[in-house]
Amino acid sequence: MPELPEVENLRMGLAKNILNQKILSVEIGKPKLVSGKGTLRKISTKKKTQFIKGVVGEKFIGVERRAKNLIFKLTHGKILIAHLKMSGQFVYQKKNGQNAIIGGHPIELSETKLPNKHSHIIFKLSNGVLYYNDTRMFGYVLYYSDLKTFEAENHFAMYGVEPLSKEFTPKYFFESLKNKKGRAKGRTGKIKALLMDQKIVTGLGNIYADESLFEAKIRPDRQAMSISSKETTRLHKAIIRIIKRAIKVGGSSVATYRLLDNTRGNYAREHKVYGKDGEKCQNCKKPLTKTIVAGRTTIFCPSCQR
Ligand SMILES: [Zn+2]
C-alpha cells in the first residue's frame, strides 16, 4: 500500500492536472466502489445514482489529503473521498488520448489500453478523462453532497495527527505512546506496530516506520511504553525529516506503486534498512537483521538500534 509520501505526490499530480475542469459525465461500472462508508462496502445503486447526479456539471476546485485518503473538493461544497487500498489507481488522460499519466498501483493494461476491464469509474472532464482503476476492488471513491454530511460520518475519527502538522509535537508523541497501552487493547504495544496503526500519527507504513526507527536508533520491537522522552524526541525528529525528504524526491520506488507522471520515486535510493536484510549497516558495518512486527517484515540493526 502506498504510504504518505506516495499519496501526497499523487495528490500534487492530480491537482496539477484536474483543477478547474468540469465533470461532463461519470460512468460507474461497479457500484460497490462508491457504496457504503469507510471499509464497509454494501452495494447500493442509490449511492451510485446520487454520485452521478451530484457530480456531473461540477468542477474540481481542490485536491487535499488526510492520512492516505484523497479528498476532492467540488463546486457547490460537494466532496469526493478516495482511498486506493491494495490495488487502486488513478489515470488522467489528456483529450488527445495520449500522455496517459498514472498514479497508484501499476496495472499493466493502463499503459496501453484505456478504459480497460479494471476501469470501474470514468470521469469525462472538459480537457481529458480521469479513470479510477482497481483490480481487486478494495478501494473506494465516495460522494458527499456537503461538508456536514461528510463530517457526520466521522470518516477520519480513527486517525491520529498528520506528521507534518503543528499538532505533531514531541510532547504529544510522548504522551500518546505512554497512553497507548490502555487504549489499544489486543495490540502488541511494540513501537513499530503503534507507528503503523495510524492512531497516533498517520501516513507511516512498513518503509517509513523502519527507516524512522533506524534513524532514531530504536529497535522496532521495543515496547512503546519503555521508550524514554529523549528517544521519543529523536524518533519524532526522524519521522518528520524522512517524510519531508521522501515527499520532496517523489516517494519510494516500490514495485507496486507508481507516481502520476509515470516515473518511479527516488526515495528508495535513500533507504537505509527497508529491503536490506543481510546487508551491512551504513553506520556500524555489521549485518542488518530481520524480524516480524505486527505481521510485517521488519529490518533493523541490532547493534545501532536499542
Ligand atoms: Zn548498525
CA–centroid distance, residue 270 to ligand 1 (Å): 16
Q: Which three cell numbers stand for residue 165?
A: 502538522
Class of the CATH domain delimited by 170-300:
mainly alpha
Q: Has residue 180 got a pLDDT over 60?
A: no
* Tens-place pLDDT, residues 198-256: 989 998 999 999 999 999 999 999 999 899 999 999 999 999 999 999 888 876 644 44
Q: Is 258 a catalytic residue?
A: no
CA–centroid distance, residue 223 to ligand 1 (Å): 20
Cα distances (Å, whole numbers) of residue 117 to 93, 110, 138, 179: 16, 10, 16, 47
pLDDT band at 182 (very low <50, low <70, confident <90, very high): very low
- Give the active site residue among 68, 180, 219, 276: 68
CA–centroid distance, residue 289 to ligand 1 (Å): 10
Q: Is 3 a catalytic residue?
A: yes
Domain boundaries in the chain?
4-152, 170-300
Q: Is 170 a catalytic residue?
A: no
What sign does the CA torsion over 209, 215, 221, 227 have?
negative
The verdict on pTM exceeding 0.75 is yes
Q: Has residue 291 got a pLDDT over 90?
A: yes
CATH classification code of 4-152: 3.20.190.10
pLDDT at 40: 74
Burial, 266: exposed, middle or buried (Cβ in 10 Å; 0-12, 13-18, 19+)? middle
CA–centroid distance, residue 128 to ligand 1 (Å): 50
CA–centroid distance, residue 294 to ligand 1 (Å): 23
Q: 487493547: which residue's cell?
A: 185
Q: Has residue 259 got a pLDDT over 70?
A: no
